Amino acid sequence: MKLKKAAAEWAVTLIEDGMVVGLGTGSTASLILEPLAARIRQGLRIVGIPTSERTAEQARGLGITLVTFSEHGRVDLTIDGADEVEIGTLNLIKGRGGALLREKIVASASARLVIVADESKLVERLGRGALPIEVVPFGWQATARRIESLGASPALRLRPDGEAFVTDGGHYILDCAFGPISSAPSLDRELNGIVGVVEHGLFLGLADQVVVGRPGGVEILARSHYD
């Protein structure tokens, strides 16, 4: 966590006065919000668009002004985390924290997406862990069978009490083990064609930079190096 904290603090230095900032979810959000709030207390003027209700609550508690897309249609910079970062493409798997739909909406509306990670998140090929897929509760079993036909092993995400985990949007999540994904763009298209799939955790071509916390310091991976 110490290495990721250093990466998060570096990423916060990218935020400039007057920006609309997308605020990520999960452990990354906690690491970003504290130094951001400190800069605001020093006079930085920004507004944030949170990617989850949990992030919104944390941000309000720190005095960060929040807005919605009805007020600002475009985000200048989003800082978020990732579950997997593919070396060489900077394609991502996100959503194991349960906020993938809102995270992808904010990321897609952003002029710049910066991902904060430590080196444990770097993979040669996506699919080391499960790919989260957000689905409509009605008929989720049928949706799961369609996903299974693509070679996955889907499992309904459960809360600690054994009930189905429900996202901020009111949907279920299927955690789908595909193994190493040979073609993320092809899988992206196939999943987008399944009725009942709301969104999935493949974030392709969205990350502009990945800030990696390493023992020797912060390393910046830029998508422009791979294009």
Q: Lowest-confidence range among 23-27, 49-53, 86-90, 220-224?
A: 220-224
pTM of the predicted protein model: 0.95
pLDDT score for 224: 62
For position 165, which CATH number holds? 3.30.70.260
Residue 225 lies in a domain: no
The number of domains in the chain is: 2
Say if residue 149 is in the same domain as residue 73: no
Residue 224 lies in a domain: no
Residue 22 lies in a domain: yes
Residue 58 lies in a domain: yes
- Is 190 tagged catalytic? no
Total Cβ atoms within 10 A of residue 145: 11
Percent of the chain with pLDDT over 90: 93
Say if residue 7 is in the same domain as residue 114: yes
* Mean pLDDT, the chain, integer: 95
**Is residue 227 over pLDDT 80?**
no
Total Cβ atoms within 10 A of residue 17: 9
Q: Which strands sit side by side in the sheet containing 92-93, from one edge to the other?
A: 122-123, 84-86, 92-93, 202-203
Say if residue 188 is in the same domain as residue 208: no
Q: Which domain holds residue 174?
A: 131-194
CB 84, CB 93: distance < 8 Å: yes
Say if residue 105 is in the same domain as residue 31: yes
For position 96, which CATH number holds? 3.40.50.1360
For 28, the token pair is: 């990354």
Residue 222 lies in a domain: no
CB 154, CB 148: distance < 8 Å: yes
Residue 32 lies in a domain: yes
Name beta bridge partners: 176: 131, 154
Say if residue 14 is in the same domain as residue 88: yes
Write down the catalytic residue from 9, 86, 103, 199: 103
Say if residue 104 is in the same domain as residue 160: no
Say if residue 152 is in the same domain as residue 103: no
For 180, half-sphere exposure in the C-beta direction (CA atoms, 13 angstrom radius) is 5
